[in-house]
């Protein structure tokens, strides 16, 4: 195409008016880019008035067939001198995941009750890299977004669970819980299941989680239950934070915590994030694993549930179930904070990471990482999850028998 005789803006305007019904279009991208660069330079686009710029843009749009937004972008690049055709280069090409790999993902989702894609990716990676399971070699390289893609395929079939919430009174300090950047500041809440109550406690830094069961929220059961709960944390607890529910904001709990020199705080009004960590764990852990089935008030049954929690569920949560951790907090133009969850790892691995970073021993005197390593790596994540699901089925058989 030779447009060298169109030498000024007036001629371009006349050309556009006279060719409204005429379709003129360059074929290749290289020709279009070359034409845009030449036109911008020839007419000195940068120095033109806004009115003349509109004519130039209309002319380019007419010849190239591009839409206005794309023309604007390309003209900006031409002015900057970097209008070149970019060759498409795939940085990380998709792998082909076979039926066998999808079934491994399905099995992991079934025994872990379908965690987030980032946590599932970490489990698959640990199965191959940490526990040496050769069958996970291919699927261990999968991206978290592609896990969601595979979950929508016809080859993948699975069933999983959902849902929960919390409540208000006066004792303890009404303030934001302080963690001092070390493990030991725990968030606590209760989840009731008809005639029994689950007490859920989560550490803020490592997300180390301990769940116990009591038949009633009374002094008789609460005192030994809190002692059992605090004993299962491998580090010293220095802050105990809950909402304003009377199950924890009472003299019995205050006396127990005072004897243990543990600071007690409670959530502030209109600050729902103060106890959000444990609230989310109520749904994703307690309800997901225990469901909504009726459990009768029976001391022997509660002891069985506590044994199951201590020997299986709590071990699974802390050594084999990856949690998501905030790696960066960014602010948008309105100064609103957005948290980026860029790390998925188990609470135990996080505890080791924090201990190494702070260069201090965070564990209780009678506990060492050498002892905990034996517990953490004796079984792979999937192996322990299978054992957990088996024990869970056995427990619920007993619960159903007691209920009937």
> Residue 215, Cα to own-chain centre: how many angstroms?
33
pLDDT for 158: 63
Taking the C-alpha atoms of residue 341 and residue 326, their distance in angstroms, rounded to an integer, is 4
Among 234, 242, 198, which Cα is nearest to 216's?
198
| pLDDT at residue 112 greater than cutoff 70 | yes
Helix (H) or strand (E) holding 80: helix 68-80
Angle at 181 between CA 179 and CA 187, to 5 degrees: 30
Q: What percent of the chain has pLDDT over 70?
A: 95
- Can you give the pTM of this predicted structure? 0.66
Residue holding tokens 């592609």?
146
Q: Is the pLDDT reported for residue 164 higher than 70?
A: no
CA dihedral 54, 57, 61, 62 (to 10 degrees): 70
Helix (H) and strand (E) counts in the chain: 16, 8
CA count, 13 A, side-chain hemisphere, 158:
22
- Averaged pLDDT for residues 134-139: 92
Residues 6+ apart with CB under 8 A from 2: none
The per-residue pLDDT for 90 is 66
CATH 3.30.420.10 intervals, the chain: 173-403
pLDDT of residue 346: 93
Report d(CA 53, CA 79) in Å as an integer: 13
- Contact assessment for residue 383 and residue 353, using Cβ atoms and an 8 Å cutoff: no
CATH level 3 topology of 173-403: Nucleotidyltransferase; domain 5 (3.30.420)
Mean pLDDT computed over 222-240: 89
For residue 279, pLDDT beyond 50 = yes
* Res 160 pLDDT > 60: no
- 165-174, 193-202, 282-291, 344-353: lowest mean pLDDT where? 165-174
C-alpha to C-alpha distance for 85 and 153, rounded to whole angstroms:
36
Q: Is the predicted pLDDT of residue 169 greater than 60, yes or no?
A: no
């Amino acid at each position: 195409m030779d447009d060298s005789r169109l030498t000024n803006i007036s001629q371009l305007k006349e050309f556009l008016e006279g060719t409204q019904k005429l379709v003129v279009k360059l074929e290749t991208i290289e020709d279009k880019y070359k034409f845009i660069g030449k036109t911008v330079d020839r007419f000195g686009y940068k120095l033109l008035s806004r009115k003349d710029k509109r004519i130039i843009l209309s002319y380019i749009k007419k010849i190239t067939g591009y839409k206005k937004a794309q023309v604007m972008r390309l003209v900006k690049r031409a002015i900057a001198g970097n209008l070149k055709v970019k060759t498409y280069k795939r940085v990380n090409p998709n792998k082909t995941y076979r039926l066998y790999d999808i079934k491994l993902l399905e099995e992991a989702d079934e025994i872990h009750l379908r965690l987030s894609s980032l946590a599932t990716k970490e489990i698959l990676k640990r199965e191959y890299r940490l526990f040496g399971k050769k069958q996970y070699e291919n699927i261990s390289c999968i991206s978290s977004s592609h896990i969601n893609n595979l979950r929508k395929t016809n080859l993948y079939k699975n069933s999983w669970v959902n849902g929960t919430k919390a409540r208000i009174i006066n004792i303890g300090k009404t303030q934001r819980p302080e963690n001092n950047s070390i493990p030991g500041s725990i968030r606590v809440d209760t989840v009731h299941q008809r005639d029994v109550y689950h007490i859920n406690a989560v550490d803020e830094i490592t997300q180390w989680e301990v769940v116990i069961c009591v038949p009633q929220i009374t002094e008789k059961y609460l005192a030994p239950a809190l002692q059992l709960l605090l004993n299962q944390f491998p580090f010293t607890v220095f802050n105990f934070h809950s909402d304003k529910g009377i199950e924890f904001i009472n003299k019995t709990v205050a006396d127990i915590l005072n004897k243990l020199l543990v600071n007690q705080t409670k959530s502030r009004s209109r600050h729902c994030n103060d106890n959000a960590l444990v609230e989310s764990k109520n749904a994703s852990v307690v309800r997901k694993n225990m469901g909504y089935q009726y459990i009768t008030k029976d001391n022997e049954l509660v002891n069985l549930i506590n044994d199951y929690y201590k020997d299986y569920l709590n071990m699974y949560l802390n050594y084999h179930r990856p949690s998501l951790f905030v790696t960066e907090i960014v602010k948008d133009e309105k100064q609103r904070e957005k948290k980026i969850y860029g790390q998925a790892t188990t609470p135990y691995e996080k505890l080791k990471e924090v201990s190494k970073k702070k260069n201090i021993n965070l564990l209780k005197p009678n506990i060492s990482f050498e002892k905990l390593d034996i517990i953490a790596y004796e079984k792979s994540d999937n192996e322990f999850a299978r054992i957990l699901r088996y024990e869970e089925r056995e427990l619920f058989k007993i619960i159903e028998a007691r209920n009937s």
